[in-house]
């Protein structure tokens, strides 16, 4: 489970003296636990991944807006740590390969938005979690 991996990595970061990694992982673990308590749901990796994605988006937006080079370097390190917690995303080429069986339906869609919707549904059905921008690009390649 993702929570267990985060706990192990917190302990390792403490042993290694890696303050940035330790603190980011603590925040992530706390946010995951808070979300679980708030929802009253059993712990699941999907919920934990959603929390980490939200945290990553927040840190990325903050990094884009900060002007202080020291803060920016710390935020970039946090982004690396948070990104390492997420499952590896498929490349555009890999997405095109996954979507090839649905190519006819994607090409028949009235517009790019509808085609992207078909593609996202197909990917979700296969258990693939993909970046929306990458899916849009894959759809454009399939549609020609």
Domain encompassing residue 120: 92-143
Q: Are residues 53 and 99 both part of a single domain?
A: no
The answer to whether residues 22 and 6 touch, using CB atoms and an 8 Å cutoff, is no
pLDDT digits (tens, 9 = 90+) for 55-90: 999 999 999 999 999 999 999 999 999 999 988 878
Q: Tell me the pTM.
A: 0.70
Rounded (5°) CA angle 88-90-95: 165
Domain of residue 30, CATH code: 1.10.1510.10
Is the pLDDT reported for residue 129 higher than 80? no
The structural domain count of the chain equals 2
Are 96 and 81 members of one domain?
Answer: no
Q: From CA 120, how far away is CA 55, in angstroms rounded?
A: 23
Question: Which domain-ending residue is among 85, 100, 118?
Answer: 85
Residue finishing a domain among 65, 85, 105: 85
What are 8-19's pLDDT values in tens digits?
Answer: 999 999 999 999
Residue ranges of alpha helices (H) inside the chain are: 2-16, 19-39, 45-65, 69-85, 92-99, 103-108, 112-125, 132-143
Tell me: do 44 and 98 sit in the same domain.
Answer: no
91-111 pLDDT per residue, tens: 888 888 888 888 898 889 899
Count of CB atoms within 10 A of residue 116's CB? Answer: 20
pLDDT at position 143 is 84
């Amino acid at each position: 489970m993702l929570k267990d991996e985060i706990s192990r990595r917190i302990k390792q970061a403490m042993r290694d003296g890696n303050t940035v990694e330790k603190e980011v992982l603590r925040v992530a673990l706390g946010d995951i636990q808070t979300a679980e308590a708030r929802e009253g749901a059993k712990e699941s990796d999907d919920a934990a991944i959603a929390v980490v994605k939200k945290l990553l988006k927040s840190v990325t937006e903050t990094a884009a807006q900060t002007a202080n080079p020291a803060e920016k370097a710390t935020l970039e390190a946090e982004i690396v740590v948070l990104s390492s917690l997420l499952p590896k995303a498929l490349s555009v080429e890999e997405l095109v390969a996954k979507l090839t069986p649905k190519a006819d339906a994607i090409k028949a869609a009235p517009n790019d938005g509808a085609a992207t919707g078909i593609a996202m549904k197909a990917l979700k059905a296969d258990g693939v979690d993909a970046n929306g921008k990458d899916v849009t690009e894959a759809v454009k390649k399939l549609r020609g």
